[in-house]
Chains A and B, each alone.
Chain A
Amino acid sequence: MTSTIEETASAPADVTRGAFDLEWGDLIKTGAILGLGLVFMSLAGMPTGLDGRLLIDPFLSLGYVSLLWLPLIVGWSVANEKVLEGMVATRKSARDVVAGLVVGAIGGAGLSLLIVLIGAFDIRDPLVNWNEKTQAFLSFQRGTGFGVIACIVVSALLAGFGASLHLMPRRVRRAIVSALLAVISVAVFESFLVDVADPLSFLYTKTGGLLPLWAAVVAALALAMTLSGGGERIGQARTNFQELTGPAKTRQNTILIVVSGLALIIIPMITGKITQELLANVGIFLLLALGLNIVVGLAGILDLGYVAFFAVGGYTTAVLTSTNRGPDWPEWFPTLPWWGAFLVTLLMAGLVGLFIGAPVIRMRGDYLAIVTLGFGEIIRILFLSDWLSGYFNGAQGITNIPPADFGIFEVKGTDPRSVFYLVLFFAVISIYVSWRLERSRLGRAWMAVREDESVAEAMGINTVNVKLMAFVVGAVLASFAGAIFSAKVGSIFPTSFLILVSIIILVIVIVGGMGNIVGVIVGSIVLVGVLGGPKQPGLLQEFSEYKLLIYGALLIWMMLQRPEGLVPNARRSRELHQDEFLQDAWLKGKVDDADENGNGADSGTVAPGLAGGAS
């Protein structure tokens, strides 16, 4: 079995270990963690809650998928060995599959134990999902005895399969993975696909779920495409694109921007309301995330009260446009059209940015985080309070906010397409602002402050002013979102501005990649588009109950495994992995210790006059 394996690592794979030559202690530990994870998810009610949603009618529900991906991934990672430079990679062999099987079986045993325990004890009182439903689900609706064995077997097989992926030739592995992903995404994004292109509904049953036949077709298509080398060709095209330089690159970039711009304008015209609403929500969070990206990503200020600026933007627009604002506003106080209110909103957000920024700007980074969080809460409490209810209507909020009227077209919540276009317009502005500022004198100063504040100050940068500027720019960008939000929803309540929103925006920025505009865009699409915002549903509407848990888990996982985000900014990832980076650079001979040794390429580059003068 071992000799046929194509090895992906470049290092020679000499070491083959016997099938049962395993690190049992580690395996048991990993298996136990897997088991705990499975039990936790079962008790959290994720599988049972999602069981009603069929993916492939009638075999597979989202519930099972939400549970069973875990052994698969754990199996894969058990057999995944990090090969460091200078280490000899062991040849993947039956041993790895055995390891996967063992881990999977231990994890599955956790579920079996849960099945038995649910039968034996009744602790339903605190644990809401400790019930027959969970038990029946875990036993595949076939009785406890069957379930106990089935859990172990299924989990072991999945983990073993995950591990065995390492043994397959690369192309086969890719094909299998893409077929799996294709089927699952076509099934999961059912409502979205049907909304985009109604004729696609022939793929699905009336009650939801892919028809088995079509599932097979989708899988076959994906298999065929990957096997025929589609994946490699795409990869090749991407490398080609990345290696372009100079004018060719600029041209390519222009084409890319024009094409995606056109796509963004056209897509909402052909899709249904669900997609338009989704795109509008993604856009609003993108605006917020772009602003926070300047504050956190560029200037390195962890602002946890960012939602305050969103709130100020929303409330200022509401107060200036609504006919139903609080009764205590003086007679002369104007009611403006949306765009007029918008201009005042920008000013107001900038002022509040200064007001909040000034006291916190000299504080240590972590104190600043908590104090800004405090400010965020204070602002929400004030909007909510009876004290100011004469102005902001307290918990009742401000309603009757008219749509934004631009003469030729009106932006209102019932027409998500119009909201999307408005959001798109401001997103383009925000992206432009971020892009220009990052490459300016101010952007460089922000980065210097992020890297080392006291040195930046010693180099002549007025750190207080520069950081305040970041605060203000961030606040203004957030107020864009606030102004649009109030026109979109038509009413505004303090509960729309919980600290939760700040944290979700932070997760978007971090998951996408701090300090990176493309990363932030990807982050908003992936998180808000797929999982959903704090109150806005995403593509995976079924997950709305679990999305906050997922946000939390994602934040931890990203920080531990990939702090640079999905689309890393080269600088940022260097900062976060500096040791590794230096080590790599050293191994590749990039660090110029050459001129210390006097024998590298650099030694010849010393100006002759200097070299002579030195001796």
Chain B
Amino acid sequence: MSHLLEIDSLSVTFGGLHALKDLNFHVDEGEIVGVIGPNGAGKTTFFNMISGMVTPTSGDIRFEGESLVGLDPNQVTQRGIARTFQNVRLFANMTIVENVMVSQHCRTKQGVWGALLNTGKFRSEEQEIRQHAEKVLGFFGSRLVGYRLEQPASVLSYANRRRLEIARAMATKPKLILLDEPVAGMNPKESAELTDLIGKLRSEWGFTIVLIEHDMNVVRDVSDRVVCLDHGETLAQGSFEEVSNNPDVIEAYLGRPLEKT
């Protein structure tokens, strides 16, 4: 049985430092997988590698049976993997709707001539892009639509920036979304709401999701399966309960009790 995303003994070293070591991992279609681990465990590196921003030293990443190693980030996105960033990176001076419109770039194809001659195809494609953008933004209630559409992304609050980032990832029409700490910086109410939305991303939009998260409530509520990384290695995989009760995981987070040393 082939998985949607399959990672095979993946390693990467930065000047002698093993950021990831012999990682095996897979995601099936329709799953929500949580990736946890203490700071510096290699979680973001893991995402960077899937999305093509870092090339692995060894190992293989297969998406729908095809290898992603060596592809440029835009080609990975083209194949159907979108991501958000831990330190929100919006196009701050573009409007909110433009932020989402621009991320449909790889799903559209009108070029210079269409724009110059204002062809029917160009106009209908522009309209589709716009409509899809508004639809995606509408997913977050009325926060990002209406008068907000034409506001620059830089005026948004932190929570709304995170939401816009997710919208931007959704607009690339992916199969798999990688969320890097989606609720960081949100208050409990907002994170609970977003947890709910992450569930809907799967149930209503049909996305498969991998998320990195430090907020254990979110991970518990949303994930089918949890993977814990530490020092670039997999400590444990399984359901949230299994992983959270695993002594190695507790040790990685809390340190070793004194008497054991």
Does A associate with B in a complex? yes
Which of B93, B126, B193 counts the most A-chain CB atoms under 10 A from its CB? Answer: B93
Given A571-B93, A595-B160, A605-B143, verify A458-B74 contact (CB < 8 Å).
yes
Contact of A598 among B74, B154, B172, B189 (CB under 8 A): B189
Residues B157 and A445 in contact, CB atoms below 8 Å apart:
no
Given A451-B92, A457-B73, A463-B74, verify A436-B192 contact (CB < 8 Å).
no
Residues A578 and B154 in contact, CB atoms below 8 Å apart:
yes
B155 lies within 8 A of chain A by Cβ? yes
A415 lies within 8 A of chain B by Cβ? no
Contact of A444 among B102, B159, B196 (CB under 8 A): B102
Residues A455 and B101 in contact, CB atoms below 8 Å apart:
no
Contacts of A460 in B (CB 8 A): 74, 77-78, 82, 103, 105-107, 172
Task: Name which of B21-29, B114-122, B226-234, B237-245 contacts chain A.
Answer: B114-122
Residues A610 and B115 in contact, CB atoms below 8 Å apart:
no
The interface residues of chain B, by DSSP majority, are classed as helix
Identify the closest chain B residue to A448 (Cβ): B102
Given A571-B93, A598-B189, verify A440-B110 contact (CB < 8 Å).
yes
CB distance from A579 to the nearest CB of B (A): 10
A605 to B163, CA, bound (A): 15
A611 lies within 8 A of chain B by Cβ? yes
Task: Name which of B8-16, B83-91, B250-258 contacts chain A.
Answer: B83-91
B53 lies within 8 A of chain A by Cβ? yes
A595 to B158, CA, bound (A): 10
Identify the closest chain A residue to B51 (Cβ): A458
B124 lies within 8 A of chain A by Cβ? no
Residues B91 and A591 in contact, CB atoms below 8 Å apart:
no
A263 lies within 8 A of chain B by Cβ? no
Residues B77 and A458 in contact, CB atoms below 8 Å apart:
yes
A437 lies within 8 A of chain B by Cβ? yes
Within 8 A of B (CB), among A450-473: 451-452, 454-463, 469, 473
Complex interface bits, A105-128 against B, C-beta within 8 A gives 1, otherwise 0: 000000000000000000000000
Contact of B93 among A461, A574, A596 (CB under 8 A): A574
Contacts of A437 in B (CB 8 A): 112, 115-116
Residues A436 and B193 in contact, CB atoms below 8 Å apart:
no
Residues B157 and A593 in contact, CB atoms below 8 Å apart:
yes
Q: A458-B73, A590-B155, A595-B143 are in contact. List 7 more A-B contacts (CB 8 A).
A: A436-B116, A440-B115, A457-B73, A458-B77, A460-B77, A473-B112, A574-B93
- Residues of chain A touching chain B, judged by Cβ–Cβ distance below 8 Å, are 432-433, 436-437, 439-445, 447-448, 451-452, 454-463, 469, 473, 571-572, 574-575, 578, 581-582, 585, 590-596, 598, 602, 605-607, 610-611, 613-615
21 example contacts (A-B, Cβ-Cβ < 8 A) are as follows A437-B115, A440-B110, A441-B108, A447-B94, A448-B94, A457-B73, A460-B77, A460-B78, A460-B82, A460-B106, A462-B74, A571-B94, A572-B93, A574-B93, A575-B93, A582-B155, A591-B157, A595-B157, A602-B143, A607-B141, A614-B190
Interface pairs A-B: 8 shortest CB-CB: A460-B106, A440-B115, A460-B77, A614-B193, A607-B141, A451-B91, A459-B103, A614-B192
- Residues of chain B touching chain A, judged by Cβ–Cβ distance below 8 Å, are 51-53, 72-74, 77-78, 82-83, 85, 89, 91-94, 98, 101-103, 105-108, 110-112, 114-116, 118, 122, 125-126, 129, 141-143, 152, 154-160, 168, 172, 187, 189-190, 192-193, 196-197
